[in-house]
Amino acid sequence: MCNGFIKLSTACPITNVGDTDFNLKNIKSCIDKALEDNSKIVVFPELSITSYTCADLFNQKKLLIKSEEAIENLCLFSKDKDILIAVGAPLYYNSCLYNCAYIIFKGEVLGIVPKSYIPNYSEFYEKRWFSEGLGIINKHVNLKFQNEIPFGTNLIFTCGDLKFAVEVCEDLWVTIPPSSYLSLLGANIIGNLSSSNELVSKASYRKNLISNQSARCMCAYAYASSGVFESSTDLVFGGHLLIGENGNILKENNRFNRENEIITSIVDLDRLIAERLKNISFRDGIKLCPFDALEIPFQFSNLNLGEFTRYIDKHPFVPKNIDERSLRCSEIFNIQTAALAKRLAHTNLKKAVVGISGGLDSTLALLVVLKTFRLLGIPSENIITITMPGFGTTDRTYNNAVSLCKKLKTDFREINIVDACVQHFKDINHPVENHDVTYENVQARERTQILMDIANKEGGLLIGTGDLSELALGWCTYNGDHMSMYSVNCSVPKTLVRYLVRYVAEKEVPEDISNILIDILETPVSPELLPKDKNGEITQKTEDIVGPYELHDFFLYHFIKTGTTKEKLLFLAENAFKEDYDKETIDMWLEKFIKRFFTQQFKRSALPDGPKVGSISLSPRGDWRMPSDASFNSFL
């Protein structure tokens, strides 16, 4: 595979009912088009060699002879073509007729898979011609041009990490589809050769079915259905083509096309393998398989993807669709508030303490506390908000902090930490003019001490403000802002924090408060631990030091979600951010991310409690258990 990616296609050729020569010509045309797209697998509809709607013509010997000749012709055609072909045709075997998928590669039928379930209800009456293939495994058939071809429902065609299997139409609609068993046995790409007629709303149901099956099986799912040139005596077919991957529909055509049609998409096998590796329940399901797989190896000549057309989202934590993003923000707030409400109820505390810097994270934490207190019927005056100006506090962040806390009617307090820090520098014999890490951490720990002590004094819960991105990078002071009594933002990445604050600004507060929130959003991210410049502006911008958060959130998502290697991360980031950063810049920050992620694990190993809101979390109690002294060398 090329970086774990492979291109695959589904096709709907023009057909004439019962005209195998005509159908074969169009099937070949679609194969050539798939090859032009650098596709390595192409899936055709059910019985596409003969067409699906031949009815009693399936009992005619001539049609079966012509069908086998067409398969032989297709094998000859494929000899010098580096593509795996799944095409539908009947098979006469042991006095029975089977509706089958023929898997062809470089001049040879690698295997034949019969349709397991034969529909015989409503508009379908396939049992009039076909026998069910359910239970057929480890058989072999002879054709006129090739002998001892594997025949059964347990076939998996393997090429390195690629493991391809097929099922036929109705097989997907049953309670336990064959693809469920085949996936448990290792298949990570499932092809479905189908003839699903069009009824009102059926396309939507079909799409959901494929999406759900690809998610349940943690696989890619390539679906091809017969088109409009099937007989319309009683039914109409739309030629629905779909490619799904682990719950997402990567590609879908517009139905009712009157030309040869093919869709192609790139699937990420590494992602599927990683998902399965983590999911113990998926692995345990193999105990239920009623048969063993028969693996049939083959080998592609090359795996060149050609143009990389797969969309890579540069902000994987943030939905692009505005409505979906709004729903996501609402859901996260509900999770955060429900979690905090439970903790307050358990401790029987009626007060909360929040350190407010005028930055994004503390603002989000305050908004969560405010919403929780409203939920519990506790007045906002019970929220103790404390701003603690230090050596680097700017007028902009200070004024925003003061204004926000007062307008939200919290119990606002101001405690300047400069004198306390200067005294501490004297106590530990540290020069005030030495602006090193000790200089910075003294301030962070002084603030945390104040917050902890006031929480004890007032009988309140100290709310942590740090976010997921900071935890990934270790961009926090150990036993300083790293610590709290409950951390509401701990699994919210920085790129999403912005949208959560913006969501409140646009939808939930009056204009005067909204204006403050908008200005906070536009303020550069900074811990403000170094002195201001001569104009009173921020000198310490976080992203200048550790790198752009949008890059780090991208790295974090793929590193944790799929265990992506550095090489592949670089490849993905280059494609996602090709208009924003050059390769050298991405590589520089990627190395920084990996080094910091490993060396800062000791902070994550001692995290306070906090709610998981998305699929990525670094909680040491469940989601991410890693030795604090693990080496990053192999990962670079």
Residue 207 scores a pLDDT above 70? yes
Range of the domain at 158: 5-297
Co-location of 225 and 369 in the same domain: no
Classify residue 313: in a domain, yes or no: no
Assign residue 433 the CATH number of its domain: 3.40.50.620
**Alpha-carbon span 291 to 299, nearest angstrom:** 25
CA atoms within 13 A on the CB side of 590: 26
Co-location of 287 and 336 in the same domain: no
Domain count, the chain: 2
Assign residue 132 the CATH number of its domain: 3.60.110.10
Domain end, chosen from 250, 281, 297, is at: 297
Co-location of 286 and 384 in the same domain: no
What strand order describes the sheet that includes 5-12? 139-141, 149-151, 108-114, 96-105, 84-93, 41-43, 5-12, 261-268
Classify residue 302: in a domain, yes or no: no
| 393-451 pLDDT tens trace | 899 999 999 999 999 999 999 999 999 999 999 999 999 999 999 999 999 999 999 99
Q: Kindly state the tokens that stand for 608.
A: 């306070």
Classify residue 305: in a domain, yes or no: no
Q: With CA atoms as reference, report the closest residue to 45 among 81, 14, 84, 8.
A: 14
Torsion sign, CA atoms 570, 575, 576, 581: positive
Is 465:476 a contact under the CB 8 Å cutoff? no
Co-location of 534 and 600 in the same domain: yes
Percent of the chain with pLDDT over 90: 92
Residue 532 scores a pLDDT above 80? no
pLDDT score of 454: 98
pLDDT score of 543: 81
Q: With CA atoms as reference, report the closest residue to 449 among 377, 382, 353.
A: 353
Residue 11 scores a pLDDT above 90? yes
Co-location of 276 and 417 in the same domain: no
- Mean pLDDT to the nearest integer, 380-390: 97
Q: Determine the 3-state secondary structure of 381 from DSSP.
A: helix
**Alpha-carbon span 624 to 615, nearest angstrom:** 12
CB neighbours of 295 closer than 8 A, spacing ≥ 6? 156, 157, 158, 163, 186
Classify residue 316: in a domain, yes or no: no
Classify residue 315: in a domain, yes or no: no
Q: Determine the 3-state secondary structure of 496 from DSSP.
A: helix
Q: Kindly state the tokens that stand for 229.
A: 């040139």
Domain end, chosen from 237, 262, 297, is at: 297
pLDDT score of 524: 82
**Alpha-carbon span 344 to 192, nearest angstrom:** 52
Co-location of 327 and 419 in the same domain: yes
Taking the CA atoms of the chain, what radius of gyration do you get in angstroms? 31
Residue 349 scores a pLDDT above 90? yes
Q: Kindly state the tokens that stand for 122.
A: 């409503």
Residue 246 falls in which region: left (phi positive, over 0), alpha (psi -120 to 50) or beta: left
Co-location of 134 and 228 in the same domain: yes
Helix (H) or strand (E) holding 41: strand 41-43
Co-location of 333 and 289 in the same domain: no
Co-location of 268 and 334 in the same domain: no
pLDDT score of 541: 72
Residue 96 scores a pLDDT above 90? yes
Q: Kindly state the tokens that stand for 499.
A: 């949208």
pLDDT score of 528: 67
Question: What are residue 248's phi and psi, to 5 degrees?
Answer: -110, 140
Classify residue 310: in a domain, yes or no: no
pLDDT score of 475: 94
Q: Determine the 3-state secondary structure of 388 from DSSP.
A: coil
Is 61:83 a contact under the CB 8 Å cutoff? no
Q: Determine the 3-state secondary structure of 606 from DSSP.
A: coil
| 610-619 pLDDT tens trace | 999 999 999 9
| 439-478 pLDDT tens trace | 999 999 999 999 999 999 999 999 999 999 999 999 999 9
Co-location of 206 and 156 in the same domain: yes
- Mean pLDDT to the nearest integer, 51-73: 97
**Alpha-carbon span 265 to 243, nearest angstrom:** 7
What strand order describes the sheet that includes 486-487? 411-414, 383-387, 351-355, 460-464, 486-487
Co-location of 394 and 282 in the same domain: no
Classify residue 304: in a domain, yes or no: no
pLDDT score of 622: 86
- Mean pLDDT to the nearest integer, 379-387: 98
DSSP letter assigned to residue 227:
-
Is 14:259 a contact under the CB 8 Å cutoff? yes
Co-location of 441 and 576 in the same domain: yes
Classify residue 105: in a domain, yes or no: yes
Is 212:243 a contact under the CB 8 Å cutoff? no
Catalytic residue positions, numbered: 46, 115, 169
